[in-house]
């Protein structure tokens, strides 16, 4: 039986749009101009490597195409905690528009030199960089990774919050697309008892 949080997350994702392809800031379909993939999530699940049950490293993101006139890229990675709230796992912005790949295991640095001095924000734990997904055991939880093609660079200092980035993206986004994958943590023996 699918858990309540999974149903709420699915409903929230459907309301937010972008599950099946590109959407512009108005939510209407755009040409297939923003294309990217997260190879580790290709089967719709999050491998343990990217969670607190594994190495806890950020996933690799492959960017295939961006719409003109993209000036920068941004990403937000979350998992829904309820219809109205999301746990921030990772934010990054001011990636160069010609970025072909964000490698796995991006360092937890405020500015990432190897990615054109892209900036990373603060996750739900208060740290800069990727926070491994670590949902309660027993139910599947969705993991949302949204890539944004932006018409300008984002004027935020490293370490900014997801809310601050989302506010900037309201006026900067040309197109966005979301990849959704789920993860289910196994109960520990003590939790089974």
Please give the C-alpha separations between residue 96 and each of 28, 101, 143, in angstroms, as whole numbers.
Answer: 25, 11, 24
Instruction: Give the pLDDT band of residue 121 (cuts 50, 70, 90).
Output: very high
Three-state DSSP at 159 gives coil
Higher pLDDT, 80 or 1: 80
Domain assignment of residue 179, yes or no: yes
- In 58-78, which positions are buried (b, 16+ CB within 10 angstroms) versus exposed (e)? bbbbebeebbeebbbbbbbbb
Integer Cα distance of 120 and 187 in angstroms: 32
Three-state DSSP at 143 gives strand
Q: Which of 109, 187, 143, 176 is nearest to 5 (CA)?
A: 143
Domain assignment of residue 192, yes or no: no
Domain assignment of residue 191, yes or no: no
Domain assignment of residue 107, yes or no: yes
Strand partners, 36: 63
Domain assignment of residue 189, yes or no: no
Q: Give the global pTM.
A: 0.81
pLDDT at 47: 96
For the stretch 1-60, pLDDT in tens is 333 333 333 333 333 333 333 333 344 444 448 999 999 999 999 999 999 999 999 999
For the stretch 153-183, pLDDT in tens is 999 999 999 999 999 999 999 999 999 999 9
Integer Cα distance of 5 and 2 in angstroms: 8
Integer Cα distance of 12 and 171 in angstroms: 22
Domain of 129, CATH number, reads 3.90.280.10
Instruction: Give the pLDDT band of residue 189 (cuts 50, 70, 90).
Output: low
The total domain count for the chain is: 1
Integer Cα distance of 91 and 181 in angstroms: 17
pLDDT at 6: 35
Domain assignment of residue 134, yes or no: yes
Domain assignment of residue 38, yes or no: yes
Residue 179: give the domain boundaries.
Answer: 4-18+25-184
pLDDT at 82: 64
Domain assignment of residue 193, yes or no: no
């Amino acid at each position: 039986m699918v858990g309540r949080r999974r149903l709420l997350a699915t409903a929230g994702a459907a309301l937010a749009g972008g599950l099946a392809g590109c959407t512009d800031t108005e939510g209407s379909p755009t040409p297939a101009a923003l294309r990217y993939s997260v190879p580790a999530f290709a089967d719709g699940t999050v491998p343990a490597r990217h969670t607190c049950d594994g190495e806890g490293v950020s996933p690799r993101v492959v960017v295939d195409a961006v719409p003109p006139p993209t000036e920068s890229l941004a990403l937000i990675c979350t998992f829904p905690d309820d219809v109205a709230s999301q746990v921030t796992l990772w934010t990054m912005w001011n990636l160069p528009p010609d970025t072909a790949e964000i490698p796995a295991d991006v360092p937890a640095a405020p500015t990432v030199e190897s990615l054109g001095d892209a900036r990373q924000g603060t996750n739900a734990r208060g740290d800069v960089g990727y926070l491994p997904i670590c949902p309660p055991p027993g139910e599947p939880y969705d993991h949302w990774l949204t890539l944004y093609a932006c018409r300008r660079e984002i004027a935020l200092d490293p370490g900014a919050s997801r809310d601050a980035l989302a506010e900037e993206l309201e006026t900067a986004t040309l197109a966005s697309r979301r990849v959704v994958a789920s993860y289910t943590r196994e109960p520990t023996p003590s939790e089974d008892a």
